[in-house]
Amino acid sequence: MTGTPPAWQLLPASADDFDALAELRIAAMRESLERVGRFDPQRARERLRAGFSPAHTRHIVAGGQRVGFVVVLPQPVSDDAPAHWRLEHLYLHPDAQGRGLGAAVLRQVMAEADAAGLELRLGALRDSDANRFYLRHGFALIGRSEFDNHYRRLAPR
């Protein structure tokens, strides 16, 4: 289903939000991870906990309900990459998917990266529908690992 996304906003998260965010991540990733035989709710929770950064996490709220979250982490210059932002997580509850909300949130994140003059990088599970989503939004495939595809979107000049 496509159409105009519902009114939405990004709101700051706190450390106290971890459990709710973990449940959202599990719900959002379940289908893709089951398809590749890697669904493990405890592992999903542990992976989120290992890199949880409340200061870089925002709730996606639509219609007064928390329906997802986005995490964008600043990355310093390294040997293989200039300073950039990493879109670490963008999850929507399955009930909120397919209505343009994810695209609207991604456009907001891209606009913020563009304003900062930084490229945006991310990884997506190889067999996930997310790959088509990121390609449609101008990301270029730059590598593959065992389970993920890696993408980047250059900042406009």
More confident residue, 108 or 77: 108
% residues pLDDT > 70 (the chain): 96
SS3 of 76, please? coil
- DSSP code of 7? P
Domains and CATH numbers, the chain: 8-153 (3.40.630.30)
Look at strands 84-92 and 140-144 and give their pairing.
unpaired
User: And the tokens for 59?
Assistant: 């709730």
pLDDT, tens digit (0-9, with 9 covering 90-100), for 14-28: 999 999 999 999 999
pLDDT, tens digit (0-9, with 9 covering 90-100), for 27-51: 998 988 888 777 889 998 998 999 9
User: Does the pLDDT at position 1 exceed 50?
Assistant: no
pLDDT, tens digit (0-9, with 9 covering 90-100), for 49-71: 999 999 999 999 999 999 999 99
